[in-house]
Amino acid sequence: MPLRDGPRARPGGVIAVAQQMAQSLASSRAPAPVDAAGKSLGLAVFGLGVVLLLGVFGLAYRDLVAAGDGLSATRLLAAPAVLAVKGALLVIMGAVASAIANKGIALYQAARLPLE
């Protein structure tokens, strides 16, 4: 079987199809509209959530430091109940702050999606 002299590209070959696809993609891509208000609101809500989380961590640190200062016998008996209540409140506040920060990121992402 004789071999060809060299590779030849057919008119409908892979290279031609790839070039046509690249041209059609380049012409069909229009810049997506920017929702600046949505992005700003999303970042602001995320920032609020982060500030609330920092506040929760500050409260937890303050309570842990205060718990170690001068425990008397009467406070020692009440300490587990107070610790449980404060711990539960801190967990709830942390979950709420985390949900707020998560909602801010969701708003930001939704503002970046192209409108259909």
pLDDT of residue 86: 83
Cα-based distances in Å from 83 to 17, 46, 95, 100: 69, 30, 18, 25
pLDDT of residue 83: 78
pTM above 0.75, yes or no: no
pLDDT of residue 100: 93
Give the burial string for 31-67 (b: 16+ CB within 10 Å, else e).
eeeebeebbeebeebbeebeebbeebeeebeeeeeee
pLDDT of residue 37: 86
pLDDT of residue 65: 74
Give the up-direction half-sphere exposure of residue 56: CA atoms within 13 A in the CB hemisphere. Answer: 19
pLDDT of residue 111: 85
pLDDT of residue 29: 57
Residues of the chain with pLDDT under 70: 1-14, 25-34, 67-78, 114-116
